[in-house]
């Protein structure tokens, strides 16, 4: 019997900890797992795994040996982290055990990919992962090892010929894109705030892939301030058509929650309700296009109490085919725990009240293009850049 979902979690993953005051607090992972448990999600049809530290052979396929060695040295002696590899910086300070926990996160994404690809589970979730900025030779943007890259590379080794990676983090998925820039077997789609405003300053519409893979990189760069309706319209104006043309055998998606209007590091204005809708959309596309083969990862998200736990609990629930209505009350025990431990009052509902029974109205692309709308202009630039490479009509697909 196929299990519904394989989920990566163990309390030890909170060891991915850059220290007090760093935006990427591990409390977001702990609170997500606790909220999932409060809804009984970890007791349903799922398999919870806690991977061990993998051999270096897994990592050296997407990271250089010199970089891995530098991470290992920093793991033993954080005070002598090598800045040449992006370690010991304000964004990526070294800490004891940095290699082991980062490698375990990467192995977690590989393991859920294995389960989905081999049909052992229907979906896979690793909300500790989604570390999409890590480069082959360096740490970047709070990311040490690129777990999405590791999972995709493993799938290619197993013979996958068409893998789609969809990234809805507020920040451009630059590390994953760069790893597969010239590989026509991997389609990378990133929907993010424009790099003219936000780190890492990349991901523009004309960045479409290497000479051997034109159209394999799809970048939708949105202006700051985009809210629910605009975000959903932009995504649906680009991603579904390209995915259907590409016909992936498996979808890997990254669900950074930093598009939220409360996030302190980005400038989008998206709600938990809309983030849940896109999780459902990607889930549905996986069933439409690749027999439900779907791997969902975490990512950014720096409002660690009010946003990330609800968003990723919704993501986990969608993968378990047990979606939680946005008007559901947050379990009181979880709220009390947050107040007792952190002195904060978390939202008492699973949504932000921006939707009608979980539905948000957004203007479909089929009703026409508005050249005066900056969101439409952003979507059109991406369509112009990539649609011809997929045999898609600029105006009607």
Active site residues: 133
Distance (Å, whole) CA 133 – CA 163: 19
Q: Residue 215: name the closest of 254, 245, 193, 173 by CA.
A: 245
Looking only at the bridges linking them, the beta strands covering 163-167 and 250-254 are: parallel
Confirm if 33 and 14 have CB atoms less than 8 A apart.
no
Rounded to whole angstroms, the maximal C-alpha distance in the chain is: 59
Q: Residue 322: name the closest of 276, 273, 259, 258 by CA.
A: 276
| CB neighbourhood size of 3 (10 A) | 14
How far does Cα 11 stand from its chain's mean position? 20
Confirm if 258 and 265 have CB atoms less than 8 A apart.
yes
Write out the H or E segment, with its range, that includes residue 347: none
Distance (Å, whole) CA 176 – CA 146: 7
User: And the tokens for 7?
Assistant: 């989920």
How far does Cα 325 stand from its chain's mean position? 22
Phi, psi of 374 (to 5 degrees): -65, -30
Q: Residue 29: name the closest of 78, 88, 101 by CA.
A: 101
124-149: string of b/e by CB count within 10 Å (b at 16+)?
A: bbbbbbbbbbbbeebbbbbbbbbbbb
DSSP 94: -
Distance (Å, whole) CA 15 – CA 287: 34
Residue with tokens 């409390």: 27
Q: Residue 91: name the closest of 129, 127, 134 by CA.
A: 134
How far does Cα 37 stand from its chain's mean position? 21
Q: Residue 203: name the closest of 213, 192, 214, 187 by CA.
A: 192
């Amino acid at each position: 019997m196929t299990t519904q979902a394989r989920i990566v979690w163990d309390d030890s993953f909170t060891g991915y900890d850059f220290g007090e005051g760093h935006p990427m607090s591990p409390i977001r992972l702990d609170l997500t797992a606790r909220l999932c448990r409060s809804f009984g999600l970890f007791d349903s049809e799922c398999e919870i795994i806690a991977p061990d530290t993998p051999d270096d052979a897994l990592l050296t396929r997407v990271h250089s040996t010199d970089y891995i060695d530098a991470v290992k040295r920093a793991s033993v002696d954080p005070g002598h982290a090598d800045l040449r590899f992006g370690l010991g910086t304000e964004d990526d300070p070294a800490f004891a055990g940095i290699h082991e926990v980062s490698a375990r996160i990467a192995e977690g994404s590989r393991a859920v990919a294995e389960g989905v690809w081999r049909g052992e589970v229907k979906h896979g979730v690793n909300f500790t992962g989604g570390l999409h900025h890590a480069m082959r030779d360096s740490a970047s943007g709070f990311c040490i090892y690129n777990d999405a890259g590791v999972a995709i590379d493993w799938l290619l080794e197993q013979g996958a010929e068409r893998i789609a990676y969809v990234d809805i983090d507020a920040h451009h998925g630059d590390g994953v894109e760069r790893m597969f820039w010239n590989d026509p077997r991997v389609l990378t789609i990133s929907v993010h705030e424009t790099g003219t405003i936000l780190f890492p300053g990349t991901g523009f519409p004309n960045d479409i892939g290497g000479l051997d893979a034109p159209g394999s990189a799809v970048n939708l760069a949105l202006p700051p301030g985009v809210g629910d309706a605009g975000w959903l319209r932009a995504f649906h104006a680009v991603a579904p058509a390209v995915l259907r043309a590409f016909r992936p055998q498996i979808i890997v998606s990254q669900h950074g929650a930093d598009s939220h209007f409360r996030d302190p590091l980005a400038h989008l204005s998206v709600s938990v309700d809309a983030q849940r809708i896109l999780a459902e959309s990607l889930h549905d596309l996986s069933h439409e296009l690749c027999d439900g083969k779907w791997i969902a990862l975490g990512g950014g998200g720096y409002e660690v109490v009010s946003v990330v736990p609800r968003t990723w609990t919704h993501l986990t629930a969608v993968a378990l085919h047990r979606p939680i209505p946005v008007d559901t009350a947050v379990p009181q025990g979880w709220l009390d725990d947050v107040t007792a431990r952190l002195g904060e009052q978390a939202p008492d509902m699973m949504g932000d009240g921006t939707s009608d029974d979980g539905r948000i109205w957004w203007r479909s692309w089929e009703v026409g293009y508005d050249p005066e709308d900056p969101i439409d202009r952003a979507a059109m630039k991406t369509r112009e850049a990539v649609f011809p490479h997929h045999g898609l009509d600029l105006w009607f697909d």
